[in-house]
Amino acid sequence: MPSSPATTSIAAHTSHGLPRATQAFCPIPDASKAPSSFLLAPVTGSDGAHAIGSGHFRGRNLLSVDDLSRLEIDRLMQVADYMATVVAGPGSVDLAKGCILAALFYEPSTRTSASFQAAMLRLGGQVLSIGDVASSSVAKGETLEDTVRCLQCYSNIIALRHPEKGAAARAAKVMGIPLINAGDGIGEHPTQALLDLYTMHGELGRVDGLVVTMVGDLKNGRTVHSLSKLLTHFQGVHMRFVAPDSLRMPEALLDTLQQRGAKFSQHSSLDDVLKETDVLYVTRVQKERFSSDAEYDAVKDSFVITPALLTRLGARDCLRILHPLPRVNELAPELDDDPRSAYFRQMKHGLHVRMAIIACLLGKA
């Protein structure tokens, strides 16, 4: 979101024929004319003093959304806009030619893993995928540290998903190439939060001033942990956290949000909040984080979003429903054709945003 008003529309309409919101994050160059390198105008702060341009992120990690300043977020969004034009146009660029991404996933993943790999391929790079850690030396008892020490010998950047909170930070300590946290237990999922942000802006044309209601498993959902912190960079955002008592946002995170001056409130029902909501961010109850099936069963269907519920609670026409996916029962399939359901469009943006992140950390954008 550049401070300059000179923005361009990405695409006029969604596949539903809905007017697509949208102000792109930057004036977009013609991707077909820039196949192997490009220079986007640097993102500049309102004071004009700071500018973030090509090479700014070279060699850095992305472990948490806290690694990013507002200007850096804007820059990643700007580069993601460019990547969307690449995908829609020529399909690929040569920015990462000669580079290899190692995708190291200790937990199940479809979207995150596939989109990281597709992103690297569309950037002209190659991929080394260690998806089934059971068939790697992890099964022999190798530590995470030793595994990433090994993979960095064969790659230029690593995307890591791991069941332990803090695992990405631990791995990064022994590494000399960029590491992207693709989800660390109940900790964070910064790339998902960036694509959620990109989707909100694309759908509604702004982030400032939105009422964002997050519902479901807010205790264990790493995507909401990252997204809530990311939203504190924007003006006048109101967050509504809706969860059963046992799945509320962690207190330490609420303290952080408070210290950053975020406006939020907690609720046990959608009844009072859906009407005023701009973005309904639905999450899955994270079965794998529960110690027993009985505990999971007690809360698993606490919130199920259906067309009838949206009507009964007076949801707006301009509401957008997001979900990091996969869904279980919390989003009725009957919602899929509702133009307000943005979750499949959101999934597609995972590619654009991850292309931007990889290109930036490799110092290619």
List of residues contacting ligand NCD (CB under 6 A): 111-112, 183, 189, 192, 222-223, 284, 286, 324-325
Nearest approach in angstroms of CB 326 to ligand NCD is 6
**Residue 179's CB: how many other CB atoms inside 10 A?**
26
DSSP per residue over 294-340, as a string? Answer: HHHHHHTTS--B-HHHHHHTT--TT-EEE--S--SSSB-GGGTTSTT
If we measure between CA atoms, which residue out of 299, 294, 295 comes closest to residue 284?
Answer: 299
Nearest approach in angstroms of CB 111 to ligand NCD is 5
Cβ proximity to ligand NCD: between 57 and 116 the closer is: 116
Helix (H, G, I), strand (E, B) or coil at 346: helix
CB contact set of 21 (below 8 Å; sequence gap of 6+): 201, 202, 203, 204, 205
Q: At residue 33, what are phi and psi to the nearest 5 degrees? A: -95, 0
Cβ proximity to ligand NCD: between 43 and 321 the closer is: 321
Cβ proximity to ligand NCD: between 222 and 364 the closer is: 222
Nearest approach in angstroms of CB 109 to ligand NCD is 6
Whole-angstrom distance, CA of residue 170 vs CA of residue 101: 19
- Sign of the torsion angle spanned by Cα atoms 68, 45, 52, 6: positive
Q: At residue 28, what are phi and psi to the nearest 5 degrees? A: -100, 125
Cβ proximity to ligand NCD: between 178 and 324 the closer is: 324
Nearest approach in angstroms of CB 116 to ligand NCD is 10
CB contact set of 313 (below 8 Å; sequence gap of 6+): 270, 271, 274, 275
Cβ proximity to ligand NCD: between 152 and 286 the closer is: 286
Cβ proximity to ligand NCD: between 24 and 120 the closer is: 120
Nearest approach in angstroms of CB 2 to ligand NCD is 28
Nearest approach in angstroms of CB 84 to ligand NCD is 19
Whole-angstrom distance, CA of residue 279 vs CA of residue 362: 33
Nearest approach in angstroms of CB 223 to ligand NCD is 5
Cβ proximity to ligand NCD: between 26 and 282 the closer is: 282
Residue 36 CA from chain centroid, whole number: 26
Query: For residue 101, what are its two tokens?
Result: 């991404």
